[in-house]
Amino acid sequence: MRNKKETIRRFVGFINNEEEQGGLWLPNIQRDFIWKEDQIERLFDSIMREYPIGSLLIWKTKEHVKIRKFIDNYKDGLKLTDFYVPKNEKTKLVVLDGQQRLQSLFIALRGSYNGKELYFNVLSVEEEKEDTRFEFKFIEPSKADINHGWVKVKDIVYDNSGSYKISSNIIKKIEMERSKVLMDKLSEGEKDLINDNISKLINRFCVEENIAYTELDGVDNPEIYKLNDVVEIFIRANAGGTPLSKSDLMFSLLTSEWEDIEEDMVNFLEELNGTAFNFGRDFVLKTSLILIGAGAKYDVTKFRKEENLQKLQNNWEDIKNSIREIRDFLCKYTFIRSDKALPSYLALIPLIYFKYKYPDKWRQSNKEALAKWLTRVLLTGAFSGSSDTLLDALVRKIDEKENFDINVINAEIINRGRTINISEDSLLNTYYGEKKLYLIFALWYQDINFKPAYEGNLPWVDHIFPQSKLKEIKVINLETGRKVMKYKWWDRDQIANLMLLSAEENRDEKRDKTPKEWLKDKDDDYFETHLIPKNKELWELENFEEFVEKRKKLIVDKFKKMGLIT
């Protein structure tokens, strides 16, 4: 282990450059680059103010490990897989700690950030403005205003003509551009300021050895710094603060042993989510651990066990198929068509486990009953909060019965202090646009021919008393004397003013019709289905409040008869 120092300019020159000691690269174990423009700008201000920027940790190795290039021209949405470098056994320098700082320096000095490059205001006065003193800013080159001192940082750092000549050239260019727009010439004080700022910048980035790093030499000492040792060092180096999430570390360990998993995971999540859902890597990893019998607790050490890694690789396709099957189950048997109607992804795991472990029983199961169970536990929040012990318990019950016995599963949920019953308040205090609204309607309309076989025909939530009509009703505000809307959004959007209509009804028939117009030709079955009070007087706009109260009672009574409200 050696402690070394280098100038920023020279050290940045090592990045992605095989000619310089094999080049600096990032290991696959590292997470994404996450710094924003303002963070990079503050880093450069810190360097100018001679603040310490922390030590880096570098691994010098010939190991056959997966690495990737640093990003030069950063853009939102970049895929790290586009920067992978073929594995090789050449000497290379791998960055274990300090990626965000080094990546920031590389983007600023050699590349761009979403099409913008880093500029320095050479007229910066060393007086603190908010939390900075020296002005650095990412600017589109076509919009950089040299009249007010903005000069590209890389043009200064990589100019070898010397501080005095660089300053002179910048001063001449500013005065030439100012003359074109009839601006005042630079004062002598401003010229001195430019000379000072350019001198500081060159000293900080090109002369002073401001990059301090520790090098773990795995070339001369291959027995000390093997891959497993370096992974351990990496985890410990990143254990403080929040540089990496537990998910990052777990996935890092997985990818260091399993070459193809990262790209496959990206593709799998894109397939799962499409444009509707939001399945995440954490969910897939947690589910995978449960499916291979490693338990629900999300623990880094589980991915360091060879037995678990082998099980994951051997069963990966079956794991993906099981998750995929339950996603398809949502679309076929429930009203859950997107993330907007799925408050907890964890509730899917028992079903995924059942399908994975007992595929024949899954095929023979009553999917409508399972859909009702899922909707119910989602609506009541049975899997909210810490659910690891609950998930482990439910998996044990599935294994004991070798089946998904809903009564047994529900009993276990209740025994663990959770509920599968809906309260009156929770039911009635549900509003248009909430995730749980579709879940309530899924239970409400479960026996009705409202099969959500999608293809664009998913039933729509609509207002019984149209919003447009209710908004027209005004009352006098006694304090101001002005007319204001009588019915606020919570009056208009409450569940007692909502119903589920077929896409055709909502699109082509109902539109903004009042209940008086819309309901006049409906039969008793329609009123029963939608829990509509049959008293025609209540369909009048002036009786909206009385209609709502009557319908609330009908809704509560229905859910009580279903055994969902205690």
DSSP string, 438-498: HHHHHHHTTTSS-----TT---EEEESS-HHHHHT-EEE-TTT--EEESS-HHHHTBGGGE
Average pLDDT over residues 189-218: 94
One-letter amino acid of 97: D
Distance, CA of 512 to CA of 371 (rounded, Å): 33
Predicted confidence (pLDDT) at residue 245 exceeds the cutoff of 60:
no
pTM exceeds 0.75, yes or no: no
For the record, the structure tokens of 118 come out as: 């880093």
480 compared with 473, residue with greater pLDDT: 473
The DSSP secondary-structure symbol of 129 reads: B
Helix (H) or strand (E) holding 235: helix 227-237
Name residues whose C-beta falls within 8 Å of residue 351's C-beta, 6 or more positions apart in sequence: 326, 329, 370, 374, 404
Over residues 280-332, the pLDDT tens digits come to 888 999 999 999 999 998 776 787 788 998 999 999 999 999 999 999 999 88
Would you state the pLDDT for residue 457?
A: 55
- Indicate the pairing of strand 73-74 with strand 112-113: parallel
Over residues 401-428, the pLDDT tens digits come to 999 999 999 999 999 999 888 889 889 9
Cα dihedral angle (517, 518, 520, 526), rounded to 10 degrees? -170
Cα 524 off chain centre by: 47
Contact 564, 540 (CB under 8 A): no
Distance, CA of 302 to CA of 290 (rounded, Å): 11
Considering the chain, what percentage of its residues have pLDDT values greater than 90? 57
- Indicate the pairing of strand 211-217 with strand 56-61: parallel
Predicted confidence (pLDDT) at residue 387 exceeds the cutoff of 50:
yes
Distance, CA of 469 to CA of 484 (rounded, Å): 14
Would you state the pLDDT for residue 130?
A: 56
One-letter amino acid of 64: H
Whole-angstrom CA distances from 542 to 226, 465, 547, 550 are 79, 11, 10, 15
Would you state the pLDDT for residue 138?
A: 97
* Strand-pair partners of 355: none
Over residues 436-479, the pLDDT tens digits come to 887 888 778 866 554 444 445 566 788 999 999 999 999 998 88
Distance, CA of 221 to CA of 199 (rounded, Å): 41
What pLDDT band is residue 200 in, cutting at 50, 70 and 90? very high
Range in 6-15, 191-200, 235-244, 452-461 with the lowest mean pLDDT: 235-244
Distance, CA of 520 to CA of 506 (rounded, Å): 16
* Helices and strands, counts by H and E, the chain: 24, 16
Predicted confidence (pLDDT) at residue 252 exceeds the cutoff of 80:
no
Would you state the pLDDT for residue 231?
A: 67
User: Crossing angle, helix 227-237 and helix 246-257, to 10 degrees?
Assistant: 170
Distance, CA of 43 to CA of 153 (rounded, Å): 13
The DSSP secondary-structure symbol of 506 reads: I
Contact 49, 116 (CB under 8 A): no
User: Crossing angle, helix 406-415 and helix 388-401, to 10 degrees?
Assistant: 150
Over residues 151-177, the pLDDT tens digits come to 999 999 999 999 999 999 999 999 999
User: Nearest 5°: phi and psi at 85?
Assistant: -115, 140
Considering the chain, what percentage of its residues have pLDDT values greater than 70? 89
